[in-house]
Amino acid sequence: MAMREAELTEQLWGDSAGAGVIFVSRVQHLEFSLACRGLVCVSRDRKPNTLVQVAALDVCEQSLLAFSSTEIVQGTRDPLFLTGVAFPPQCPILEETVIKLSVYDVKDKSANNSTFLGSATFSVADLLKSRDQQISLNLRSSDDLEAVGTVVVSRMKMGEIEDGEVDHMATDIQAQKCALVCESLHGTTNDKDYGPLMSALFKNPVCKVYRFQTLDSKWMLVREQMAESTLSFTIPKQLITLHIQEDSRRIQELKDLGELSPHWDNLRREVISRYDQVIRSYQETLEELDKLTGPSFKPSCSKAQKYLEFIPINLHTQRMRVTCPRKTDAFYDIITVGAPAAHFQGFKSGGLQKLLSRYESEKKSYSTAYQCIYYSPEQTAKAREVLGSLSELQPLISSLADRLLQAAQQRSVDALRDTLKSLAEKTEQFVHALKDELVKSALLALHAARPGYISKTQTHTPPPLHLQTEMPQTPSHTGAEPDAAVCINMDEVQTPNKEEQLAAVTLERQDSIPHYKEYDEEEWDRVWASVAKSLNCVIALVDKLQEQDNNNQESTPDQALADVITSHNPSEWREQLSPLVASLKECVTEVGDRAQKSMTFILLQEAVCSIPQGLFLQQRRDVVFSQALSALACGFVMRLYAGLEDKGFLQQLHLVGLVAQFESLLSTYSEEIGMLEDMETGISDLNRVTFRITEAKSDDPAELQPVVSGRRDYYTVEIPLPQQSFQIIPPELQEGKPLQIFPVLFNVGINEQQTIAERFGDISLQERINQRNFEILDGYFKTLSDKVPSECLPCFQTQMDVKELLETLGQNVVTKKRKNVEILWLAGTICRRLNGIRFTSCKSAKDRTSMSVTLEQCALLRDEHQLSKDYFIRALDCMRSSRLAQGEAAQWDDPEAGSVANHKPASRHFYPIALLLVSSHLLVVWLILSLVFLLAKYQ
């Protein structure tokens, strides 16, 4: 996992394109491999199971700190360890630093039963100054009386070739060594430009290095790096701030509705009160988050903390870098994160999918109880879309109108033409956004909610018979209290005629309150059309002025042209345009004000219908979306940084967009069903997100943080790039073109709870999710094939066509097969072939996630880098090794610990298949016996 090291920001790089090894004053990142020779056990006839613990001497504190360990190599006196030792950037190594190696014989790993064999110490200077940077040390026993073997320490050098039959690193060709850049010291020339980016967004990297043998008996070097991301907190905090601003605007819009009947005024007060509660809750959460310091991730043990509910669980970046003999380095990225879900709120009533479905089915009855008009989810979404368009287009039209007058003042024909074109385009968008029957019907409902409103047909036409049954019985005497508007189901009455609409919202006239004038439905059409008419007048006058100017220039002799131009009053054009432009702005303002109030009234009625549940569902959705967007932003940034020099990738990015494939390992049993329902909704909501690339003001880390803007229905994430990186991307990206993301989710439960669900429960949720997202992935590939040449996609050793992979995936998602992990493998492979972003999740992004990631990494080494079949299991065990023999776990193994944790029980995750089969059958037997016992007990 080759991430750009943080220390690169502190170094001054030179031009190393044609240079050899770059030398620095101090060693900040040291990596070496280990091997032992001639180990002697207490029992001379027994071959040891060897493990080496590595510790470094803290020069300041004068104490040894346990740092890492190798894997256990069983049954040999001459073990060769595949796991190397890597000191990360935050642990700077000086030449005077002393490193201690302690060798143990692990007799029983599960019982933590091990015997100390011997130890050796060396300084970093000894290793660096030795021949070929390799030293052999004698191991001394605890009493320091005898040698118990030797340990060989070899400096790891990315890019060099190893001889498959020897146990140490050796260079075959001296010329190749000169062209080498030691990645453990400096990084590579390919990623040196990303130093400021990576150090700004990714913190506390933890590294591990391995050496594995290939099929041709050469050695490949594998470097893993896991890091935290500052986006775990910065993205949620920005979203919470946006939610507070949006809800505050909604309160102001409700207040701006003006005078309403007592019934609606009381409901408005109640809705405003609930919005105030949500705002206060979000403000308290934001204050608590601002106080936090320390790690840049939320551990799974903090799921129950309310103020952390917006933060994703265990969000980490995982990068594997592979260096093979005479081959270009390869990078494989994956983002690991706990399932985006409302863990604090719990799952007793299910997840978002079930709760939203239940809410929509009950909203009709709520609308009747509160005497509201029922609006479908599509209609309320349209209302929010109209409000968003108004807030964006109305000030833009006003600004363009002022620029048009300024161009007229300067008599600049080109500026006048360009500004008029932009003004016409934005005005047409404005008019089109309001060309909807929903706006007209909402205006009618708003007028009906005014105090003392009387319709045209109240004294002329009685309500239709089918609506009379729904209308409340109101007293006929003067001075009676007004009743509210009648409930109309907008889904059932799609196109009511004029009489039905007016009868449905009839209010009893009262003499004691002011009366509003009769509502004229055609008035909105006239006001709305006046915008287009005003624009046409402006266009006609501009054309006339330009035509007159052209005629004057053609009819005037050249020698007198200058005099004619200077003789014209410079403000003549502006004076002629000003009345028409002012009329256009007034029409836009009036139409915008009416439309805004009508759409706000729709949202008021939606909020009223949610009174029984408050804003619980919206808050839950905010929480889940915050976690999902944090993970997506982290993955997008990683993928963008890795592809800045890939022209094919950048072309795909702006022409089509990227696919973001979420791999979920949740079961469809118990509370994980609710998690999966939350996760499905959160990932689906990511369709509302686009990305834009901007140029950063400086290389300061604060200036390189992504910025989120927008509202709940549409968000934009701006990714700042340093000037040097920004200049190499295509013009389309530099201009800020919105970049689309296509999120897809595939889930296959793999734990014992999924076994119960498949045998006795319901897995229809998983099947529906997989089938639906396959259709999205298939549609994305078809679009990509039409717009982007195949040469833009990455090349792999396994040349199976993406179309064939999709066909196989399509067959698997409809096949009834238990724990069909082939779905996940195919989806992940397709994602990598399409330059996509990979995510892996389970409940907490720990056990199941780590098993999936390590298996995928070893499979990539086997399929793409010719990992020897004899080394596959060993490589898997090395990557899954989670503790030292004597019970001290390193930071890499438990990212939640934050530091070295002592005496944790051993954990084995790689079970034999036979044991799993036996366990599943025993589980079935136990369930049957329990059922028989319960039946016998209650008979």
Strand, helix or coil for residue 333: strand
- Residue-wise pLDDT for 541-565, tens only, equals 888 887 877 776 665 555 444 444 4
**Arithmetic mean of pLDDT, 378-383:** 88
Residue 492: the pLDDT is 39
CA distance 159 to 365: 69
- Residue-wise pLDDT for 87-138, tens only, equals 766 676 788 888 999 999 988 776 677 889 999 999 888 888 888 889 999 9
**Arithmetic mean of pLDDT, 582-602:** 90
Residue 474: the pLDDT is 34
Q: Which residues participate in catalysis according to the annotation?
A: 842
- Residue-wise pLDDT for 138-167, tens only, equals 998 887 777 889 999 998 865 444 443 333
Residue 498: the pLDDT is 37
CA distance 922 to 913: 14
- Residue-wise pLDDT for 608-667, tens only, equals 887 667 678 999 999 999 999 999 999 999 999 999 989 999 999 999 999 999 999 999
Residue 913: the pLDDT is 37
The helix (run of H) or strand (run of E) holding residue 347 is none
Residue 556: the pLDDT is 54
Residue 391: the pLDDT is 87
Q: Quote the tokens at residue 693.
A: 């690339």
Strand, helix or coil for residue 744: strand
CA distance 620 to 241: 16
pLDDT bin (cut points 50, 70, 90) of residue 834 is: very high
Q: Tokens 């366990």 map to which residue? A: 919
- Residue-wise pLDDT for 756-783, tens only, equals 888 888 889 999 999 999 999 999 999 9
- Buried b or exposed e, range 461-494, using 16+ CB within 10 angstroms: eebeeebeeeeeeeeeeeeeebbbbbbbebeebe
The helix (run of H) or strand (run of E) holding residue 516 is none
Q: Quote the tokens at residue 120.
A: 């050796």
Phi and psi (nearest 5°) for 683?
A: -70, -35
Strands in 541-657 per DSSP E = none
- Residue-wise pLDDT for 241-275, tens only, equals 999 999 999 999 999 998 999 889 998 999 999 99
CA distance 182 to 67: 22
Angle formed by the axes of helices 572-609 and 262-291, nearest 10°? 90
Residue 720: the pLDDT is 94
Residue 4: the pLDDT is 33
Comparing 516 with 105, which gets the higher pLDDT?
105
Which 8-state DSSP code applies to residue 111? T
CA distance 337 to 316: 7
pLDDT bin (cut points 50, 70, 90) of residue 909 is: very low
Which 8-state DSSP code applies to residue 792? G
How many other C-beta atoms can be found within 10 angstroms of the C-beta atom of residue 920? 15
CA distance 240 to 219: 50
Residue 290: pLDDT over 80 = yes
- Radius of gyration, CA atoms only, the chain: 35
pLDDT bin (cut points 50, 70, 90) of residue 79 is: very high
Residue 304: pLDDT over 60 = yes
Mean pLDDT of all residues belonging to the chain: 78
- Of 175-179, 297-301, 519-523, 659-663, the range with the lowest mean pLDDT is 175-179
Residue 445: pLDDT over 90 = no
**Arithmetic mean of pLDDT, 689-717:** 92
CA distance 64 to 84: 19
Residue 898: the pLDDT is 35
pLDDT bin (cut points 50, 70, 90) of residue 726 is: very high
Q: Rounded to two decimals, what is the model's pTM?
A: 0.79
Comparing 624 with 466, which gets the higher pLDDT?
624
CA distance 387 to 382: 9
Residue 179: pLDDT over 50 = no
Alpha carbon distances (Å) from 133 to 25, 156, 180, 453: 17, 9, 15, 91
pLDDT bin (cut points 50, 70, 90) of residue 454 is: low
Residue 351: the pLDDT is 93
What pairing do the DSSP bridges indicate for beta strands 739-747 and 837-841? Answer: unpaired
Residue 682: the pLDDT is 96
CA distance 663 to 654: 25
CB 210 within 8 A of CB 82: yes
pLDDT bin (cut points 50, 70, 90) of residue 888 is: very low
- Of 98-112, 683-697, 824-838, the range with the lowest mean pLDDT is 98-112
pLDDT bin (cut points 50, 70, 90) of residue 183 is: very low
Residue 468: pLDDT over 80 = no
